[in-house]
């Protein structure tokens, strides 16, 4: 793929901030974008100024939500270079999501090349502050300007990037989680395993309810039995039994196959923990929290990496986990994962792709 690099003029070149990044409100100066037309394929790839899209009000994505996205990060290493973490997995998942949503796939090599070129051009936007990173958001939207429920004949594929700080305002501290007894995020056979906007839209109502009740995330149960644990907020979830056994629900079709989840399973086993993928009944899990058999619970995802859960709220009762403190397994995995991501710890799994940006 030939990517045209559009030069930016002075007024389009903002200085990258050095701190106070927040999460998801700041964007670098440039973006990658390409177009798809049925019969022609992908064309007009370019990296140009970060700018608004002008779309017809009838554009199909606004009505039928045919869209997908990804989320990955670029990490500043202590030697000044930049690491991407398992970007190949994100590319694969992007295309799996595309297929589920009846969208065209992208060439994985080209897509990765677009990200590499964009990050290289915007390397000054990769923060050097510990814990801060450059968030990378590849997206594809259906752009046919016509009503009528069918797969679009036109698409835009673009990548935007921006510096982010900690996902949770409280940093690496336990979060309170609300277990929804009534609403479900996704169902087997539906779109839960795809990274598509509708899944997130469906989660907002309960997310707001949870916030009103004082919780920061929602634990989702399966939609068929209403009892098997699936995910927490926009993260996968793991339980630690007796300090040494890490268990996460299996990928049954309604759960997003998280790259952090996959890494926790590999890394956990490598660090000497027992790891397993098993169905977890919410009632049994809560009884195990009460008896002390479950010693830790944590969410895992790109944004927060590891997010310890301090308590669950379910049917007007609260269940405290590890005395609402960060547990040793969550801390261990967090340190190891962020260590590999930032190059502090040797990458023994070949997970990182380093971009030379050192001078
Ligand atoms: C619904 C959902 N589950 C799980 C994850 C975690 O996936 P990953 O570790 O690849 O970021 C995410 C975030 O991408 C998500 O949106």
pLDDT at 358: 62
Mean pLDDT across 260-264: 98
pLDDT at 262: 98
Architecture of domain 4-164: 2-Layer Sandwich (3.30)
pLDDT-derived band of residue 1, with 50, 70 and 90 as boundaries?
Answer: confident
User: Of residues 275 and 357, which shows the higher confidence score?
Assistant: 275
Q: How far apart are CA 199 and CA 184, in angstroms?
A: 10
Say whether pLDDT at 359 is over 70: no
The boundaries of every CATH 3.20.10.10 domain in the chain are 175-341
**Mutate which of 100, 235, 253, 257 for ligand 1 pocket (most atoms within 8 A of beta carbon):** 235
Structure tokens given for 50: 């970060």
pLDDT digits (tens, 9 = 90+) for 82-119: 999 999 999 999 999 999 999 999 999 999 999 999 99
pLDDT at 109: 94
CA angle in degrees (0–180, nearest 5) for 210-214-219: 40
pLDDT at 172: 85
What fold characterizes domain 175-341? Answer: D-amino Acid Aminotransferase; Chain A, domain 2 (3.20.10)
pLDDT at 171: 73
Q: How far apart are CA 68 and CA 4, in angstroms?
A: 24
pLDDT at 166: 78
pLDDT at 276: 98
On average, the pLDDT of the chain sits at 96
Residue ranges in the chain assigned as alpha helix (H): 60-64, 87-100, 108-121, 197-212, 259-270, 282-291, 328-341
Output the ligand 1 site: residues, CB below 6 A: 71, 231, 234-236, 256, 258-261, 301-302
Q: Which atom of ligand 1 is nearest to the CA of 93?
A: 10
pLDDT digits (tens, 9 = 90+) for 225-248: 999 999 999 999 999 999 999 999
CA of 203 to the centre of ligand 1 (A): 14
pLDDT digits (tens, 9 = 90+) for 34-89: 999 999 999 999 999 999 999 999 999 999 999 999 999 999 999 999 999 999 99
**Mutate which of 23, 200, 234, 333 for ligand 1 pocket (most atoms within 8 A of beta carbon):** 234
The boundaries of every CATH 3.30.470.10 domain in the chain are 4-164
Say whether pLDDT at 121 is over 90: yes
Structure tokens given for 79: 């030697």
Q: How far apart are CA 114 and CA 94, in angstroms?
A: 14
CA of 37 to the centre of ligand 1 (A): 29
Tell how far CA 164 is from the center of its chain: 13
Q: Which atom of ligand 1 is nearest to the CA of 185?
A: 1
CA of 224 to the centre of ligand 1 (A): 22
Q: Helices 87-100 and 108-121 meet at what angle, rounded to 10?
A: 130
pLDDT-derived band of residue 167, with 50, 70 and 90 as boundaries?
Answer: confident
Protein residue with least CA distance to atom 5, ligand 1: 235
Q: List own/partner pairs for 102-105 with CB under 8 A and 24 or more apart.
A: 102/66, 102/151, 103/66, 103/68, 103/140, 103/142, 103/151, 103/152, 103/155, 104/36, 104/41, 104/42, 104/155
């Amino acid at each position: 793929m030939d990517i045209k690099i559009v030069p930016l003029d002075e007024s389009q070149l903002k200085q990258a901030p050095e701190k106070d990044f927040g999460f998801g409100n700041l964007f670098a100066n440039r973006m990658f974008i390409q177009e798809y037309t049925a019969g022609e394929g992908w064309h007009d790839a370019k990296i140009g100024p970060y700018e608004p899209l002008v779309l017809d009000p009838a554009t199909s994505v606004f009505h039928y939500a045919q869209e997908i996205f990804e989320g990955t990060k670029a990490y500043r290493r202590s030697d000044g270079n930049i690491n991407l973490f398992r970007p190949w997995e994100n590319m694969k998942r992007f295309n799996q999501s595309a297929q589920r949503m009846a969208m065209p796939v992208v060439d994985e090599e080209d897509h990765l090349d677009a990200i590499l070129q964009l990050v290289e051009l915007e390397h000054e936007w990769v923060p050097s502050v510990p814990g801060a990173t450059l968030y990378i958001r590849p997206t594809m939207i259906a752009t046919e300007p016509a009503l009528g429920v069918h797969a679009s004949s036109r698409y835009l594929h673009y990548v935007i990037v921006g510096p982010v700080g900690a996902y949770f305002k409280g940093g690496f501290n336990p979060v309170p989680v609300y277990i929804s007894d009534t609403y479900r995020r996704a169902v087997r056979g539906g779109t839960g395993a795809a990274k598509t906007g509708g899944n997130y839209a469906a989660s907002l109502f309960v997310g707001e309810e949870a916030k009103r009740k004082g919780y920061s995330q929602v634990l989702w149960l399966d939609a068929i039995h209403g009892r098997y644990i699936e995910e927490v907020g926009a993260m996968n979830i793991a339980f630690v039994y007796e300090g040494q056994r890490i268990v996460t629900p299996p990928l049954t079709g309604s759960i997003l196959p998280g790259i952090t989840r996959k890494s926790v399973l590999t890394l956990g086993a490598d660090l000497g923990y027992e790891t397993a993928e098993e169905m977890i009944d919410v009632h049994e899990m809560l009884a195990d929290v009460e008896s002390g058999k479950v010693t830790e619970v944590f969410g895992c995802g790109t944004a927060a990496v590891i997010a310890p859960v301090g308590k669950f709220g379910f049917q007007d009762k609260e269940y405290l986990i590890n005395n609402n403190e960060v547990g040793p397994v969550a801390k261990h995995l967090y340190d190891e994962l962020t260590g590999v991501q930032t190059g502090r710890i040797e990458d023994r799994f070949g997970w990182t792709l380093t971009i030379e940006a050192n001078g």
